[in-house]
Amino acid sequence: MAVRSRITGVGGFVPSRVVTNHDLAAMMDTSDEWIVERTGIQQRHWAGPDDSPSGFALEAANAALTAANVAKEDIDLLLVATLSPDHFFPGTACFLQAKMGISEIPALDIRQQCTGFIYGTSIADQFIRTGMYEKVLVIGSEIHSKGLDKTDAGRDVTVLFGDGAGAIVMEATDVESTDDSQVFSTHLHADGSGADALWLSSPGMAHPDGLVTHAHLDRGDQYPKMNGRAVYVNAVKRMSEGIHDALAANEVTIDDVDLFFFHQANLRINEAVAQRLQIPAGKVYNTIQKFGNTTAATIPLGMKEAVEDGTLQPGMLVACAAFGSGFTWGSMLIRW
């Protein structure tokens, strides 16, 4: 017998406002044809003015707690992955903790963008394996829509992103065999030499002239900037490598895996990874068509969808991989 972590509940949330490609074409110089052909995205959800990432996180966390049948008072650690925090500081996990009404447990923000959920799951897994904590909430929550450039200048980035949140409850479990539900492994990586290939420059303390200035605002430094091609090429390479890591560490093959969850940045990226690894299309669970790229929320939101529509069943061997800004990437293999 060994102590491992397992996912016991999953939840998700998206705001009710649906923004189609046609809606975006009314705001900027883009088209449904371009977006669908280049990315696979048909629509995304956008937050309302009073929404916050911690508010979305609360919705997803409550749903995950209900699914796991765990009381919020029994959670030992709160992890929130987000690139769109409520405020510059303190962390969104602290705002969430106040909203949940559970004080004194540690509340930690994870700043690994699209890979944030994999980093969070890995951190939770290490704490559970060492016996320090027994129940951990891992949440990815994002509101991109309030921070995107909705003019022609921002069209390459703005059409890609959507708002939403996803959450899992992870609990300690005694496992006897690989058939038992558990997290087998997580692999984390980063390459900071690609940091400015997808980034948001301002506000930032590295600026000699201050956190945010009129010059920054005039240049649009408060909006994300991306070298789309560099991100695309690296995403295909690194998510493929991540799946290799996960399979090799556990001595299993592509054929042994029942379902793959890849980060959802571009349908073409995921098709290229599947082709490279010879994964049958039916084993890859894609949600980008209706949610766009929800960054750290993507994988748990996808898991929640897959549970609800019956695709994700107990006992399945599941591989996940993500790649994003940083560059950061990672993977994990779990028995659901």
Q: Determine which one of 45, 94, 114, 270 is catalytic.
A: 114
The answer to whether 77 and 125 have CB atoms below 8 angstroms apart is no
Report, in Å, the least distance between residue 33 CB and ligand UT7.
9
Of 42, 272, 48, which is closest to residue 159 (Cα–Cα)? 42
In the complex, residue closest to ligand UT7 by CB: 228
Binding-site string for ligand UT7 from residue 87 to residue 126, where x marks contact by CB under 6 A and - marks none: ---------------------------x------------
94 is catalytic: no
Residues 6+ apart with CB under 8 A from 311: 259, 285
The 10 Å CB-count burial string (b at 16+, else e) for 220-257 is ebebbbbeeeebbebbbebbbbbbebbbeebebebeeb
Q: With contacts defined by CB under 6 A, how many residues of the chain interact with ligand UT7?
A: 19
Q: In terms of CB distance, is 23 or 180 closer to ligand UT7? A: 23
263 is catalytic: yes
Q: In terms of CB distance, is 76 or 271 closer to ligand UT7? A: 271
Within 10 Å of residue 268's Cβ, how many Cβ atoms? 16
Q: Which amino acid is at 191?
A: D
For residue 285, CA distances in Å to 14, 80, 304, 310 come to: 18, 23, 11, 12
Within 10 Å of residue 19's Cβ, how many Cβ atoms? 17
| Residue of 21, 39, 54, 270 that binds ligand UT7 (CB under 6 A) | 39
Torsion, Cα of 125, 128, 133, 134 (10° steps): 110
| Residue of 117, 232, 260, 329 that binds ligand UT7 (CB under 6 A) | 232
Torsion, Cα of 314, 315, 319, 322 (10° steps): 20
Tell me the window of 100-108, 143-151, 231-239, 303-311 that interacts with ligand UT7 (CB under 6 A).
Answer: 231-239
114 is catalytic: yes
Report, in Å, the least distance between residue 149 CB and ligand UT7.
11
| Residue of 21, 173, 266, 328 that binds ligand UT7 (CB under 6 A) | 266
Tell me the window of 31-39, 56-64, 75-83, 242-250 that interacts with ligand UT7 (CB under 6 A).
Answer: 31-39
Give catalytic residues, as residue numbers.
Answer: 114, 263, 293
By the criterion CB under 6 A, which residues form the site for ligand UT7?
30, 34, 38-39, 114, 155-156, 159-160, 198, 228-229, 231-232, 235, 265-266, 293, 324
